[in-house]
Amino acid sequence: MSLTRELFGGAITVNIPTILIDASNLRQIPDTQEVFLHPKSGESLIVEVLQSVDRPDPQEAAKFHFESLAHDNSAVGQQVHETSVSPTHNGQTPAPVLLYGTQLIPKFNATTPDEVQILLALYRVPNKHVDLVMTMNVPTKAADGGAVTKEELAEARRTFEVAASSLNIVKFELFA
């Protein structure tokens, strides 16, 4: 079951499953992020306010954010599988660019990296010089047992698509 959640003090709303746990109840989260964790797997959903990158083509900007995430994750491999512009948008919220990819991420000195499906939605707000980025990290092979099954991956993708299409920027003052 999904629930509309308010992010950044109500400036943004998004529909995500009630099972996802707000990570700010567990640990310190930067003010520029909202993080949700799945209690039974290594899945996470993150919405982050970032400075706009200098890439005029929105799909190239999404690839830049994917590559930046790979760098931050110390990924030893990465591949973009698909990018597209969603036809869906809410009110003044820009239609997102969707990117689906895979990153190989070494964790905890493991000899074999985890394989993580990265689902990314980029909402460009050019008049505020902001890139709002939603990412869902879904481990499909994990040394710690946090990997999902094929059915759970399909469910995660549906969850992401609902979240990406429902995200609504209510208060653009957030990006002042």
Do 114 and 104 meet the contact criterion of CB atoms below 8 Å apart? yes
Mean pLDDT of 44-67: 97
Contacts of 93 (CB under 8 A, 6+ apart): 123, 167, 168, 169
What does the block give as tokens for 73? Answer: 């994750």
pLDDT for 58: 95
Mean pLDDT of 101-126: 92
The residues with which 133 forms a beta bridge, in sequence order, are: 48, 122
What does the block give as tokens for 92? Answer: 């003044």
Q: How many domains does the chain have?
A: 1
pLDDT for 109: 73
In this predicted structure, the answer to whether residue 1 has a pLDDT above a threshold of 90 is no
pLDDT for 37: 96
Mean pLDDT of 113-140: 96
For residue 17, what are the domain limits? 2-175
Average per-residue pLDDT for the chain: 94
In this predicted structure, the answer to whether residue 136 has a pLDDT above a threshold of 90 is yes
Q: How confident is the model at residue 89 (pLDDT cuts 50, 70, 90)?
A: confident
Q: How confident is the model at residue 132 (pLDDT cuts 50, 70, 90)?
A: very high
Mean pLDDT of 31-45: 94
pLDDT for 144: 78
CATH, residue 115:
3.40.1000.10
In this predicted structure, the answer to whether residue 91 has a pLDDT above a threshold of 90 is no
